[in-house]
Amino acid sequence: MTIMQMRELPAGEMPRERLIEKGAQELTDAELLAILFRTGRRGENVLDMARRIISELPEQRISALLYMPAQELARIDGLGLAKAATVLAALELGSRAQRRAGARIRVDEAQVVADLLLPRYRTEIHEHFLVLPLTSKNDIIMEAEVSRGTLTRTLVHPREVFVPAIRCAAARVILVHNHPSGDPMPSAEDHRITRILVEAGRLLSIPVVDHIVLGSEGYYSFAEHGLI
């Protein structure tokens, strides 16, 4: 079987050489993955394979790799355990470097979360749903986007919400989503999904301590209004 090597790519498309010349920050997600994979497979060069794998991820988000165990990642066509282990090792190194680069943000009130995320989501035209896993001291461990919706709606399932928290051994979580309309007042659906996720967190012993809705006009905290 003939394996497509990195060197068989056209000179201008060789990710390793582009990284050396221009820096890692200039490469696409597919190019960075191709460097980790090193080789493609029969009939598919490594860069095309990386692009295909990204296209098969949920909503084509590279962040989905953070929540995939090695065995699940290895089942993707063209990978295998060796490539999966390389990718997960690289992701973990990046995660550790980021965590150790500076102090974690401690959340002692909803305003801290609003100050952190409003600049990013104030003018977003799509709805994003995030979970912030916290330590026992209420330090943010990470930000995980678990759903991205249309102009008016997003779909959230308890499984996607709590997987990041379980993976990083969080003590509790804060839920966050934005309203593209700009009005942060929660809808009836927001209240409904909050009740569902609060109950799921209770069953998992990972309590939901707040649900914060962001809008261009400010934010709304379920906890501050005594609803959690």
pLDDT at position 41 is 86
Helix (H/G/I), strand (E/B), else coil: 144: strand
> Would you give per-residue pLDDT tens digits along the chain (228 residues)?
444 455 555 656 688 888 998 888 888 999 999 999 988 888 888 999 999 999 988 766 777 776 677 888 888 888 889 999 999 888 878 767 765 655 577 888 998 898 888 878 877 888 999 999 999 999 998 888 888 876 555 668 888 889 999 988 899 999 999 999 889 999 999 999 999 999 999 999 999 999 999 998 789 999 999 998
Of 200, 213, 203, 136, nearest in space to 168 by CA: 136
Domain boundary assignment for the chain: 6-100, 110-221
The architecture (CATH level 2) of 110-221 comes to 3-Layer(aba) Sandwich (3.40)
**Beta strand segments in 68-154, E:** 128-134, 144-148
Of 124, 126, 105, nearest in space to 174 by CA: 105
pLDDT at position 208 is 97
Q: Which secondary-structure segment (H or E) carries 155?
A: none
pLDDT at position 40 is 87
Of 93, 102, 105, nearest in space to 141 by CA: 105
Of 62, 162, 184, 164, nearest in space to 118 by CA: 184
pLDDT at position 4 is 47
Query: 228, 221 in Cβ contact below 8 A?
Result: no
pLDDT at position 102 is 54
pLDDT at position 103 is 58
